Amino acid sequence: EVQLVQSGAEVKKPGESLKISCKGSGYDFTTYWIGWVRQMPGKGLEWMGIIYPGDSDTRYSPSFQGQVTISADKSISTAYLQWSSLKASDTAMYYCARREGVTLNFDFWGQGALVTVSS
């Protein structure tokens, strides 16, 4: 069974760093792209970036380029999303999702990780 399990909710202060994770199982983690999607409270889905764990090829949305870093450790089937200095506006739910290679559909999603940034 394909699963993406994300790390838990985080409460951080502005200026702090954070790295959240997304662990895949039930499939060959190295052969599917993993995307990250932000959903701010009461708002829609925003694509942040995507990584191919097989070779760590990474693409960022222009809106998020330079704001976050996406990485992956294929040895433990885990993708990461990290911030070096959080802002209150980073408060959101963050989803990882597997992108199917032929249809380009996000066919499996993680459960989401709520990040709250508040002083």
Query: What is the contact surface with other proteins in residues (CB under 8 A)?
Result: 35, 37, 44-47, 50, 59, 61-62, 95, 97, 100, 103-107, 109-112
Which of 44, 66 has the CB closer to other proteins?
Answer: 44
Q: Which CB sits closer to other proteins, 13 or 59? A: 59
Nearer to other proteins (CB atom), residue 18 or residue 48: 48
Q: How far apart are CA 71 and CA 76, in angstroms?
A: 12
Please state the closest distance from residue 87 (CB atom) to other proteins, in A: 22
DSSP string for residues in the chain: --EEEE---EEE-TT--EEEEEEEESS-GGGSEEEEEEE-TT--EEEEEEEETTTTEEEE-TTTBTTBEEEEEGGGTEEEEEESS--GGG-EEEEEEEE-TTT--EEEE---EEEEE--
Question: Shortest gap between Cβ of 64 and other proteins (angstroms)?
Answer: 11
Closest distance of CB 70 from other proteins, Å: 12
Minimum CB separation from other proteins for residue 44, in Å?
Answer: 4
